[in-house]
Amino acid sequence: MPHDLSHLDAALATYPRVALLEGPTPIQKLQRLSRLPELNGCNIYVKRDDLTGLGGGGNKLRKLEFLLGEALAAGADTLVTWGGFQSNHARLTAAVAAQQGLACELILTPSAVRSDDDFCHNGNVVLDALFGASIHRLPRGVAPDTFAAERVDRLKQQGRKPFVMPLGGSSPRGSLGYAACAGEILRQADTLGIRFEQITVPNGSAGTHSGLLAGVTLAQAPTTILGYSVLATEEQASALTVEKTGQVLQLLSPSTALAEASIKVDGSQRGEAYGAPTEAMLEAVRLLASQEGLLTDPVYGGKAFAGLLAAVRRGDFPAGSNLLFVMTGGLPGIFAYRSAFDG
């Protein structure tokens, strides 16, 4: 029986959305990795959300479809957002602004754990400037949301119409992009004739995880969504994911309750801090690259894939399980982390 997605589709259609993807991103099986004896006969698939076409691609474009819909409906002429120097969300907001002919202001904050030249000046920040964004680099200790509020006041005084996006684009509206992605995955699973036991994602600002979970909940699909937290601790990320998933469901179907037991966050891969490299991350990025020719980033995808590898090697899944890993993009981050990959 194919999934019934009518409820989800109808609910999503009530929100303004600007198409930024060319169509569904591919789902591919990792042929070589899935044959490694240590992976215990599991079938590992990837959802190629790194292949979204604009601005170097990545998961933020799905959120930006709904955020841009919201911004244009509000008459915005300037997009404002913030993040770290290597924020993929900031980069893709700048790309979308360029494509739409909007102004863009990015407020970028330094990292607590990386301050080398590549981190500060390579990777995403190179691209932000190419897309024509105005960049405000904050010194340590200045709160980006406070700075953003001041910038917004100033822009309004100048007669502009700024629209502010939260960290990672993970407002409830932005997270609808991943509820839509859940529908897309379930349709592809129907076409492939398989059921995914688990969908694995990195969990940063939790919009990707929350959107997917709200989507599969509404479609009544029994797929587990597991998020590896890379930013907050397991406990904090779990609480945030409960809250966000509830908010997304509220937008889509207020009568649908969230079973709290369906929130699965694993904090084992975060390491000492957000953005701090771990041995397991380095091994996971190298394995995917050397065995499959695929690129994951050191901050999100590398850590989440390391978690999936550890679980599969441990024997958490019976042979024949179909496991889907969402590749969320972030390729520019590899260049920012050159020193971590040296040697």
Ligand X SMILES: *Cc1c(COP(=O)(O)O)cnc(C)c1O
**Residues noted as catalytic:** 87
Q: Is 172 in the site for ligand X (CB under 6 A)?
A: no
Q: Which is nearer to ligand X, 41 or 69 (CB)?
A: 69
Residue nearest to ligand X (CB): 330
Our measurement of the distance from residue 204's CA atom to the centroid of its chain's CA atoms, rounded to an integer in Å, reads 7
Burial of 134 (0-12, 13-18, 19+ CB in 10 A): middle
CB of 173 to ligand X, least distance (A): 13
Q: Which residues within the stretch 183-202 sit at the binding site for ligand X (CB under 6 A)?
A: 202
Q: Contact at 8 Å (CB) between 55 and 131?
A: yes
CB of 49 to ligand X, least distance (A): 9
Q: Is 204 in the site for ligand X (CB under 6 A)?
A: yes
Q: Which residues within the stretch 60-89 sit at the binding site for ligand X (CB under 6 A)?
A: 60, 88-89
- Token readout for 312 is 């599969």
Closest CA to 125 of 141, 136, 114, 113: 136
Q: Is 229 in the site for ligand X (CB under 6 A)?
A: no
Q: Is 109 in the site for ligand X (CB under 6 A)?
A: no
Q: Is 124 in the site for ligand X (CB under 6 A)?
A: no
Give Cα separations from 252 to 8, 175, 224, 278, 332 (angstroms): 7, 11, 20, 37, 33
Which listed range, 182-190, 275-283, 313-321, 324-332, lies at the site for ligand X (CB under 6 A)?
324-332
Q: Which residues pair with 47 in a beta bridge?
A: 27, 326
Give the Cα separation of 200 and 95 in Å (integer): 27
Question: Which of 168, 215, 267, 275 is close enough to bind ligand X by CB under 6 A?
Answer: 168
CB of 187 to ligand X, least distance (A): 21
Q: Is 328 in the site for ligand X (CB under 6 A)?
A: yes
CA-based angle 199:204:206, to the nearest 5? 65
Q: Which residues pair with 114 in a beta bridge?
A: none
- Token readout for 191 is 């076409």
Q: Which is nearer to ligand X, 1 or 294 (CB)?
A: 294
Q: Is 267 in the site for ligand X (CB under 6 A)?
A: no
3-state SS, residue 203: strand
The amino acid at 140: R
Q: Which is nearer to ligand X, 49 or 105 (CB)?
A: 49
CA-based angle 179:210:303, to the nearest 5? 115
Q: Is 170 in the site for ligand X (CB under 6 A)?
A: yes
CB count, 10 Å around CB of 341? Answer: 14
Q: Is 91 in the site for ligand X (CB under 6 A)?
A: no
Site string for ligand X, 44-63 (x = CB under 6 A): --------------xxx---
Name the site residues for ligand X (rule: CB under 6 A).
Answer: 58-60, 88-89, 168, 170, 202-209, 297, 300-301, 328-330
